[in-house]
Homo-oligomer: A and B are copies of this chain.
Amino acid sequence: MDAQLKRGVLDVCVLAALKNEDSYGYKIIKDVRPVLSLSESTLYTILKRLEDAKMISVWTKEFEGRLRKYYHITSKGIRRLEEFKEEWKELNSIYLYIVRGSRYE
C-alpha cells in the first residue's frame, strides 16, 4: 500500500486496536498487521505521539518478570475516532472526484 496513504490511517488504526480493551505494543502490532503493515519503530513512534496528544494513557504492569506498558484509549482518543468517521465522508467525495475525473466523463 502506498506509504502516503497509510499516514492518515495509521494513528487511527492504533486507536481502533485499543477501542475494546487495553493492550501493549507487541500485541497491537500483531492485531493491526493483518489490516495494515507497520514496523515496530513506527508503532512506538505512534504510541509516543498519541500519548503526547493525550489520546491514550499508559500504565505499567509486571508480566513474567518483564515490564509491560499497557495503553488505554482516553475520551480524547474516542473523539478522534469519531472525527475520523467524518473525515471518511470527505474522503469519499474526493474519491468520487478522482474516479470520475475533473468533470463530466
What is A's interface to B at a CB cutoff of 8 Å?
1-2, 4-13, 15-21, 31, 35-36, 81, 83-85, 87-88, 90-91, 93-95, 97-99, 101-103, 105
Contact = CB atoms under 8 A, between A and B. Distances in A.
Nearest to A101: B19
A79 to B, nearest CB: 13
Instruction: Please classify the interface of chain A as helix (H, G, I), strand (E, B), loop, or mixed, using the class held by over half of its residues.
Output: helix
A94 B7 contact: no
A31 B103 CA distance: 9
B93 A16 contact: no
A22 to B, nearest CB: 11
A6 B5 CA distance: 8
